[in-house]
Amino acid sequence: MSWQAVIGLEIHAQLATRSKLFSGASAAYGAEPNTQAAAIDVGLPGTLPVVNDEAVRLAVTLGLAIGARIAPVSVFARKNYFYPDLPKGYQISQYERPVVADGMLAVRLDDDRVIEVRIERAHLEEDAGKSLHDAFSTQTGIDLNRAGVPLLEIVSAPVLHSPAEAVAYLRTMHRLVRWLGICDGNMQEGSFRCDANVSVRRSPQAPLGTRAEIKNVNSFRFVEKAIAYEIERQIRVLESGEAVVQETRLYDAAQDRTRSMRSKESADDYRYFPDPDLPPLAIPPELVASVRASLPELPEARRRRYVEALGLPAQDADQLCADRDTSDYFEAVLAALPGEAKLCANWVLGELAAALNTLGLPIARSPLAPADLALLLRRLREGVISGKQAKDVFAAMIAGEGDADAVIAARGLVQISDEGALLAAIDQVIAAHPAQAAQVRAGQDKVLGFLVGQVMKATGGKANPQRLNALLRTRLDGSGADLPSAS
């Protein structure tokens, strides 16, 4: 019997705003506990929420990027529950009328298949505080810095059918939110986390099975493993004639298994109702239009353009579009060197990526600006320097020795391509090594390398290798008589 897995993900992306969703307190990560909590974040009576316009703008940005509907009017709702890190006794979220609905994200899988993942909704909500279980030996600390930080909860339809599909979707969404600049995507800090809903059924035509929800898995690898484990577990349960319980489960990475945390509460348990302190959220068409006008070219569209219009290999296009900073850097180099997409891609993905890796710097903080790299590549293309010299110049530029022209001049690196100068050196070498010259003339091609080496030595390694080889060969072919005299 073959089972079909059904997976839907709820992704929580922390929106990259400076202040919180309903208060002016800083939303920055990592401050001393409870130094960034306004009166409303700690649940003091008599305080009122005011919605953060920037958070709304970022939510609209995602909505447009996934082709969703932006609700002209959406509603904030209270989700009521008690927890020590939720002093108000409710979380402000959106329930029946979310700001974003019915989107779609195209996801490319490892085997190049593309699946279209339907996004049911994305809604704005505030985060809760944090319970610090390790801060004190016999007590739990409460840090309310995170309370009220804006989240966008992005809810996929149950349309994913394997751990690999789920992770590919998660990665694609992760790239998108970072690309749009709406979330920093930092998974260690919890800025991007997901709950995975998993069920299995006996065939794709069967009704959906009962699901378990795996909470807060914060790495791509663990999401994949947790889902894989959960699918196996549910199949075992069902095949032994028992039923899957609807519940919340936790993934234990050390043991690579999920375990029950609590039975799943239903929406009714939360007594959702519209927040009386907040008016409905109205989004005027002008806001939607202005966000639409400022949307960047999206990663999949850019990737396709790189392959189809620039003629780059798919693998280069993938790597360049893995994140926006890399892709924007490449764009800027290419803009200065039109028509040289492959050369630019090679250097951005090769030499530059390696140097940044060694320096431990992201490309956004590259010591070389795109224009610097472009100048180096122009000199390479012009034949001023050889490929090998270009790598040396590049290393010197990274070391801070100046731009390409300055390094080339300072090191006297200019390649000798001038025919007269090369011929002079060649004739001297032929005169000094008549035996070897005779051997080459007699057809012993291997000896040519020796003579090339001698000319290189005589020119301090600056001879343009292609020109040198061609000239030397012609000289020794006997057709050298056609060449101008070196003197």
Per CB under 6 A, residues contacting ligand ADP are 6-10, 155-158, 197-199, 208-209, 211, 213, 267
Smaller CB separation from Mg ion, 97 or 411: 97
Judged by the rule CB under 5 A, the positions of this chain that interact with Mg ion are 10
Closer to Mg ion by Cβ: residue 113 or 259:
259
Nearest approach, Cβ of residue 195 and Mg ion (Å): 5
CB-based closest residue to Mg ion: 10
- Closest approach, Cβ 197 to Mg ion, in A, equals 7
Q: How far is the CB of 119 from Mg ion (least distance, A)?
A: 15
CB of 81 to ligand ADP, least distance (A): 13
472 binds, among Mg ion, ligand ADP, none (CB under 5 to 8 A by kind): none
Least distance from ligand ADP to the Cβ atom of residue 5, Å: 9
In the complex with Mg ion, which residue's Cβ is closer, 5 or 283?
Answer: 5
Which of 482, 457, 479 has the alpha carbon at shortest distance from 468?
Answer: 457
Give the separation between CA 11 and CA 216, rounded to whole angstroms: 9
- Identify what 150 binds: ligand ADP, Mg ion, none; CB under 5 to 8 Å per kind: none
What phi and psi, each to the nearest 5 degrees, are found at residue 181? Answer: 70, 20
Q: Which is nearer to Mg ion, 10 or 325 (CB)?
A: 10
E strand residue ranges, 48-184:
69-70, 73-74, 76-80, 90-94, 100-108, 114-126, 130-132, 141-143, 150-156
Q: Facing residues of 115 across strands?
A: 107
Residues 6+ apart with CB under 8 A from 437: 430, 451, 476
CB of 107 to ligand ADP, least distance (A): 15
Rounded CA separation 438/160 (Å): 73
Does residue 212 sit in helix, strand or coil? Answer: strand
By beta-carbon proximity to Mg ion, the closer residue of 216 and 290 is 216
Q: Which does 156 bind (CB under 5 to 8 A by kind): Mg ion, ligand ADP, none?
A: ligand ADP
Closest to ligand ADP by CB, 108 vs 215, is 215
Residue 264: CB minimum distance to ligand ADP, A: 7
Partner from Mg ion, ligand ADP, none contacting 335, C-beta within 5 to 8 A by type: none
Q: Which among ligand ADP, Mg ion, none contacts residue 211 (Cβ within 5 to 8 A by kind)?
A: ligand ADP
Q: Residue 248: which of 210, 191, 276, 278 has the closest Cα?
A: 210
Residue 340: DSSP 8-state: -
Closest CA to 407 of 395, 416, 415, 417: 395
Task: Decide whether 10 or 85 has the Cβ nearer to Mg ion.
Answer: 10
| Residue nearest ligand ADP, Cβ-based | 8
Q: For the range 90-94, what are the long-range contacts, defined as Cβ-Cβ under 8 Å and sequence gap of 24 or more?
A: 91/125, 91/126, 91/128, 92/21, 92/22, 92/49, 92/125, 92/126, 92/275, 92/278, 93/123, 93/124, 93/125, 93/126, 93/153, 93/272, 94/123, 94/124, 94/125
CA atoms within 13 A on the CB side of 444: 10
| Shortest distance (Å) from residue 185 CB to Mg ion | 21
Cβ closer to ligand ADP: 156 or 454? 156
Nearer to Mg ion, 198 or 426 (CB): 198
Question: What is the DSSP code (8-state) at residue 184?
Answer: -
- How many Å apart are CA 468 and CA 234, to the nearest integer? 71
Judged by CB, which is closer to ligand ADP: 106, or 322?
Answer: 106
Residue type, 120: E
- 155 binding partner (options ligand ADP, Mg ion, none; Cβ < 5 to 8 Å by kind): ligand ADP
Query: Binds 208, which of ligand ADP, Mg ion, none (CB < 5 to 8 A, cut-off by type)?
Result: ligand ADP
- Rounded CA-CA distance 407/27 in Å is 45
What does 157 bind: ligand ADP, Mg ion, none (CB cut-off 5 to 8 Å by kind)? ligand ADP
Give the Cα separation of 27 and 351 in Å (integer).
37
- Give least dist CB 124 to Mg ion, A: 16
Residue number with CB closer to Mg ion (10 or 318): 10
The first and second tokens of residue 246, run together, are 């609807």
* 68, two tokens: 């969703």
Least separation in angstroms between CB 286 and ligand ADP: 31
**Is the separation of the CB atoms in 82 and 40 below 8 Å?**
no
Q: State in angstroms the smallest separation of the CB of 198 from ligand ADP.
A: 6
Query: Which does residue 340 bind out of Mg ion, ligand ADP, none, counting CB within 5 to 8 angstroms by kind?
Result: none
Contacted by 8, from ligand ADP, Mg ion, none: CB < 5 to 8 Å by type: ligand ADP
Exposed, middle or buried by CB within 10 Å (0-12, 13-18, 19+), for 227?
Answer: buried
**From ligand ADP, Mg ion, none, interface partner of 372 (C-beta below 5 to 8 A by class):** none
CA 204 vs. chain centroid, Å, equals 33
